[in-house]
A and B are shown apart, each in its own frame.
Chain A
């Protein structure tokens, strides 16, 4: 196991380095932030002073070297706009996004898996067909539209739930979270459900496909032949087998949910990282965009590693291969 983890970490370092090259050069050849930042009436001297101050007068490889050296020290540059460290800006908003993402994943799993398993066990029942039709809707309806519909129905027409912001937050281990207060929870519900809908459909489909396959296996029939109760057969024998693909896919999707919660955050004015990214792209705030992308890369790498470890806990056959390697 430790051999496996060490190897994965070394591979990850290479990935981070290559990504830093791509991200830095990619972002730095687009547009000219100076135009956005400087008063149009400023004279040439002021403009050049500003360019020097931002370090943009240097050749790009020098800028990259400077970025890399600082990045190793944990400094991903300063925002052009806010004149604050980009990392700090992002980390400030990260708890909001993480909370939203985890809430969405939680909903996707606790609603998706039971529905999927049910649809897999009784593929021909009316309820199962309804579930599957619903999952197609979840896949195909655009997130922003569903978000707007949620706001219209639950916030405007019914007036049950608020439509913007995080609501009242409390401090949990020094991080501001919404889900511990009733008000915060009511603010969290709609955006989380909105973000969860697509993943939930995915989980339903994965769980159903897995269940249909596993239910036909001899070991399920053998489990029934042992006289086990149906709940034991489904909850232990079927479930543990279908969790393998579900965990893999969800793990990979988690990164996506965190990184690209942009749409939902915009619709529900959720003060998270996604909204910061959109604003930074519009203002050509290069350091923030680069820092955001680097954090995203790191996050994907960590999540993949965790998924691999989880996978080996769920599937003993994977564990054995690791020991040998």
Chain B
């Protein structure tokens, strides 16, 4: 897990510096987005699936936050909740999402639509599925611009062309006339990223955008994402299950487990000194940390079903530090620079 060059770039946010060492600050901080105790539940026939059940985090201008967790931990649903595109039977049942000081939960559809794609953009996981197969690229890009600004087709076309060049697509005029099936996966994801950038959003939510791509394309896209945030001050939430990606890209990290944020903080602090046993186990499972010839470390057990999850810490069944106490709701521990963890028995030392 190489972390070269990261330290020089990292600057703690002001709020964080003043809070360091002081008594617990319970509200998440950030000037772009503050999510507090978000709850998004799915009311299915089998019961209520609490996909997101009490997630809090904040993100500031130009900051990159890695939102990590395994499949089904509620990362994507958190992203959809922020954009207000949770499909039924899902529903935001509680909490608050404040974007640039404006409450998004309960905001009417028309106002929400003006923010969507314009101020907050999203990039999806599977580039093969995000572009409409029967519409040309120019149609799909121009409509995204004209949904938010009264500009001529020609002006929108010029803007689309410019952004395609920016994400590294050569001969954009030819590409704009093409259909999605004429592109490779990596190219399609570049187009999807270009669409997200069209209206110069203040926040981009990227939902595992490089998972379906090969390593070289992944590296290029990560590099461009980082460059974008540095140059334009766009805040970026990078949803992934790949800790290596987060280590190389993010300023902050938020670890999710079973619909909760279990631990968050500065990326170096969390990765070097994980507090929550789940984070600890995750970092221990990264293959490069394991010794050659030995079986890989893994966290025992399975992710619990989110259907009718019992109260208390959801991780306790898989946790080697669990005690009877863990049947109760774990406290939010705060340590200095907006480091938070929900645990009765946190680790204080880094993984061996």
Write the residues of chain A forming the contact surface with B, with a CB cutoff of 8 angstroms.
Answer: 216-219, 221-229, 232, 236-237, 240-241, 244, 314-317, 320
- By a CB distance below 8 angstroms, the chain B residues around A229 are 113, 147
The verdict on A227 contacting B147 (CB below 8 Å), with A218-B126, A221-B85, A222-B192 known, is yes
Q: A227 to B135, Cβ gap below 8 A?
A: no
Report the separation of the CA atoms of residues A218 and B128 in the bound assembly, to the nearest whole angstrom: 9
SS class, residues of chain A in contact with chain B: helix
Report the separation of the CA atoms of residues A223 and B83 in the bound assembly, to the nearest whole angstrom: 12
- By a CB distance below 8 angstroms, the chain B residues around A222 are 122, 124, 130-131, 192
- By a CB distance below 8 angstroms, the chain B residues around A315 are 133-134
Q: B130 to A228, Cβ gap below 8 A?
A: no
Q: A227 to B144, Cβ gap below 8 A?
A: yes
Q: A232 to B132, Cβ gap below 8 A?
A: no
* Nearest residue, chain A, Cβ from B128: A218
Report the separation of the CA atoms of residues A240 and B121 in the bound assembly, to the nearest whole angstrom: 24
* Nearest residue, chain B, Cβ from A244: B134
Q: A320 to B144, Cβ gap below 8 A?
A: no
Shortest beta-carbon distance from A247 to chain B in Å: 12
CB<8 Å pairs between A and B, sample of 24: A216-B87, A219-B131, A221-B124, A222-B124, A225-B117, A225-B121, A226-B121, A226-B144, A226-B147, A227-B113, A227-B114, A227-B115, A227-B118, A227-B147, A228-B117, A229-B147, A232-B143, A232-B147, A236-B135, A237-B132, A237-B135, A316-B133, A320-B181, A320-B182
Instruction: Knowing that A232-B147, A236-B135, A320-B181 touch, tell me 12 more A-B residue pairs with CB under 8 angstroms.
Output: A218-B124, A221-B85, A221-B124, A222-B124, A225-B83, A226-B117, A227-B144, A229-B113, A229-B147, A240-B134, A241-B132, A317-B133
* Nearest residue, chain B, Cβ from A215: B87
Shortest beta-carbon distance from A57 to chain B in Å: 60
The answer to the question of B179 belonging to the interface, with a C-beta cut-off of 8 Å to chain A, is yes
Report the separation of the CA atoms of residues A316 and B121 in the bound assembly, to the nearest whole angstrom: 27
Centre residue among B134, B136, B147, B181 by max chain A CB count within 10 A: B134
Report the separation of the CA atoms of residues A217 and B130 in the bound assembly, to the nearest whole angstrom: 8
- By a CB distance below 8 angstroms, the chain B residues around A314 are 134
Shortest beta-carbon distance from A183 to chain B in Å: 42
Report the separation of the CA atoms of residues A316 and B138 in the bound assembly, to the nearest whole angstrom: 14
Total number of residue pairs linking A and B with CB closer than 8 Å:
79
Report the separation of the CA atoms of residues A315 and B179 in the bound assembly, to the nearest whole angstrom: 10
* Nearest residue, chain A, Cβ from B114: A227
- By a CB distance below 8 angstroms, the chain B residues around A217 are 129
Q: B85 to A224, Cβ gap below 8 A?
A: yes
| Contacting residue for A241 out of B87, B133, B148, CB 8 A | B133
Q: B124 to A228, Cβ gap below 8 A?
A: no
For the complex of A and B, 9 pairs with smallest distance between CB atoms: A227-B117, A218-B129, A226-B117, A227-B116, A316-B179, A226-B144, A219-B132, A222-B130, A225-B122
Report the separation of the CA atoms of residues A160 and B209 in the bound assembly, to the nearest whole angstrom: 62
| Contacting residue for A223 out of B121, B132, B136, CB 8 A | B132
- By a CB distance below 8 angstroms, the chain A residues around B116 are 224-227
* Nearest residue, chain B, Cβ from A223: B132
- By a CB distance below 8 angstroms, the chain A residues around B126 are 218
The answer to the question of B195 belonging to the interface, with a C-beta cut-off of 8 Å to chain A, is yes
Report the separation of the CA atoms of residues A232 and B116 in the bound assembly, to the nearest whole angstrom: 15
- By a CB distance below 8 angstroms, the chain A residues around B132 are 219, 223, 237, 240-241
Centre residue among B126, B129, B132, B181 by max chain A CB count within 10 A: B132
Q: B134 to A228, Cβ gap below 8 A?
A: no
Report the separation of the CA atoms of residues A222 and B87 in the bound assembly, to the nearest whole angstrom: 12
Shortest beta-carbon distance from B239 to chain A in Å: 14
Shortest beta-carbon distance from B80 to chain A in Å: 8
The verdict on A219 contacting B129 (CB below 8 Å), with A225-B83, A225-B122, A227-B115 known, is yes
Q: B144 to A228, Cβ gap below 8 A?
A: yes
- By a CB distance below 8 angstroms, the chain A residues around B182 are 320
Q: A228 to B147, Cβ gap below 8 A?
A: yes
Centre residue among B80, B130, B136, B148 by max chain A CB count within 10 A: B130
- By a CB distance below 8 angstroms, the chain A residues around B143 are 226, 228, 232, 236
- By a CB distance below 8 angstroms, the chain A residues around B134 are 240-241, 244, 314-316
Shortest beta-carbon distance from B127 to chain A in Å: 10
| Contacting residue for A317 out of B115, B148, B179, CB 8 A | B179
Shortest beta-carbon distance from A232 to chain B in Å: 7
